[in-house]
Chain A
Amino acid sequence: MIELENVSKTYISLFRSRRVEALAGLTLSVARGEVFGIAGPNGAGKSTMLSILLGYLRPTAGQARLDGHHPRRYVEQSGVSYLTELVSIPPRWNLESALFRYAALSNLPRHVARERVALAMETLGLAEHRKKQVRQLSKGNLQRLGIAQALLADSDLVIFDEPTHGLDPVWTQKFRDIVTELRRPSRTILIASHNLDELERLADRVGIMSQGRLQRIVTAGGAHTGGAYRLVLAQPVPGLAEAFADAITVEGRANEYRVSGTLEELNERLGRLLASGATIAAFYPEQSRLETEFRAAVKDSGP
């Protein structure tokens, strides 16, 4: 569905005094049916990449294709469900009319528009705010409106740029449920986010971008291969020092320790700890696997 081939984008100021290389030789392929995450620090080139995919920007070099077509041609024929990073909707529109407007722009017949708008408002919990002007909405409600307008059309390509920005934990969880429901074999879902935990939960693969390059692609769901972990005991036991000689107490957290090692070493030590009569309350990686990969990728690409 998405093909980026050696795409570069350089912003050049009016008098050519400044050049900013936002993308440098980006090559990526995302198939139908896939949920693909894009992670990267600020300025990594994520939004530039999405703008090129929607035909809002033209690459300086290389080419982008959506379902084999030029992005603009694909978008104007099929439409893309798109949530922008900063939700930009005219502030004087009211919430319900904004959704009807976007439904009309999506070319939905009136009766279909009514159903989709009602469903989107119900799904995103916006019905009680339907008559409010956009400028009266809180950050969270505005973000939910942004998601709602993206869900109106039944597009084969869905792009979410920072979808949970400003959402509370309840709506963050609901958004995850929405993405799960949106999955289908013919649909590609692209999610750009700073929230690595969210990407790890939602995406099949995550591309880590830094300095305009795709540093690596991580397949979600893989096992951890060791590293730093947190160990939480129900109560202190003398056997801890014996099993984990290198355990470091986490400041301000009762019975919580930082331990590290390979998976084999950790399993063997945990066995000894349990044998000494300890009750383990929790044991979890200090960083998620994606976070570990992210840190490594960003560090590798550093100056």
Chain B
Amino acid sequence: MSRVPIRYLPWMLRDLLLAQGLVLLAISILIYVVTIRIDPTPPVQFGPIGVMNVVRQSSLILVLICTGSIVSADRGLGYYRSIFSRPVSPPLYYLQRWLLGALLMATVVPAYSLAFSLALGRFPIQWTLVGRIELFYLLLGGLIFLISTILRSDWLLGLMIFMLHGALSAFRSSPSFHLPAFWEFVYRIFPPFHLVDVSASPLTGPQLTHVLLYGAGLVLAALAVLRWRPLGAGGRA
């Protein structure tokens, strides 16, 4: 019997579209409405910058709602008991769910571009932004996935780490401020969010490898926890 819940994939996709997909749709509609109202001049220059800004602002929210409580909700509310009494592997189930989130994130830039196209006329999809947002999902989504296998406040902790990293990154880039050794260490062990910012310069080969290995490490660690830590652990039966 298969332990990969392939037959459950349509249900997972449906849940994702009805929750996270609707948020994406709402943001896209908002972009369309705002864009046609402000009447940008010239429109061709406004478009790419607009997409970049909206992607930067909304990708964080979308990653948080795509991965927030991904495991911890099922554990905390006891749903796991009816799910995993069936021939389903918990790591594969949640990996499938996490990958669907990645798929949804891949539609973010095309969705925004479509909204701009409708408002401004023909507007090309910026595929480099699609890659950037996927790398961002790999890092932040992977981090929240890992935290979610252990703690309930996964998205909040993930957000705090992201914001602390942003603050440390700002201090580091300031010529008048020297980051203490401890905070320099913290900055270095945190996921390299600065490399996947939509406005950052193109990634070099080693930087891309660093991001990919770090993200893959987070996801693999999450899967390892799901494999070795029983789902009922950490509370009364």
Flag if A79 contacts B87 (CB, 8 Å): yes
How many chain A residues touch B (Cβ–Cβ < 8 Å)? 39
Contact of B5 among A51, A81, A90, A105 (CB under 8 A): A105
Flag if B5 contacts A54 (CB, 8 Å): no
Cβ-based interface call for A102 (8 A): yes
Flag if B232 contacts A57 (CB, 8 Å): yes
Flag if B237 contacts A48 (CB, 8 Å): yes
Assuming the contacts A58-B230, A76-B3, A88-B82, asked whether A101 and B8 have C-beta atoms less than 8 A apart, the reply is yes
Flag if A82 contacts B232 (CB, 8 Å): no
Flag if A82 contacts B87 (CB, 8 Å): no
B224 to chain A, nearest CB (A): 14
B10 partner residues in chain A, CB cutoff 8 A: 104
Cβ-based interface call for A210 (8 A): no
Flag if A57 contacts B87 (CB, 8 Å): no
Give the CA-CA distance A149 to B89 in the complex, in Å.
Answer: 19
A111 to chain B, nearest CB (A): 12
8 Å CB interface, A1-44 against B: 11, 20, 22
Question: Looking across the interface, which residue of chain A has its beta carbon closest to that of B7?
Answer: A104
Cβ-based interface call for A78 (8 A): yes
Cβ-based interface call for A275 (8 A): no
Give the CA-CA distance A56 to B90 in the complex, in Å.
Answer: 11
Contact of B232 among A56, A75, A79, A90 (CB under 8 A): A56
Chain B interface, DSSP helix/strand/loop, else mixed: loop
8 Å CB interface, B77-117 against A: 77-89
Flag if A78 contacts B1 (CB, 8 Å): yes
Give the CA-CA distance A58 to B11 in the complex, in Å.
Answer: 30
Flag if B230 contacts A107 (CB, 8 Å): no
Flag if B87 contacts A77 (CB, 8 Å): yes
Contact of A153 among B5, B79, B80, B86 (CB under 8 A): B86
Assuming the contacts A47-B237, A56-B230, asked whether A104 and B81 have C-beta atoms less than 8 A apart, the reply is no
Question: Looking across the interface, which residue of chain A has its beta carbon closest to that of B80?
Answer: A56
Cβ-based interface call for A190 (8 A): no
Cβ-based interface call for A255 (8 A): no
Question: Looking across the interface, which residue of chain A has its beta carbon closest to that of B14?
Answer: A97
Give the CA-CA distance A149 to B86 in the complex, in Å.
Answer: 11
Cβ-based interface call for B2 (8 A): yes
Flag if B81 contacts A56 (CB, 8 Å): yes
Cβ-based interface call for A106 (8 A): yes
Cβ-based interface call for B37 (8 A): no
8 Å CB interface, B36-89 against A: 77-89
29 contacting pairs across A/B (C-beta < 8 A): A22-B236, A22-B237, A48-B237, A50-B237, A54-B85, A56-B231, A56-B232, A75-B84, A77-B1, A77-B87, A78-B1, A79-B85, A80-B85, A81-B85, A82-B82, A84-B81, A88-B81, A90-B77, A101-B11, A102-B82, A104-B8, A105-B5, A105-B7, A105-B8, A105-B88, A106-B87, A107-B1, A107-B87, A146-B82
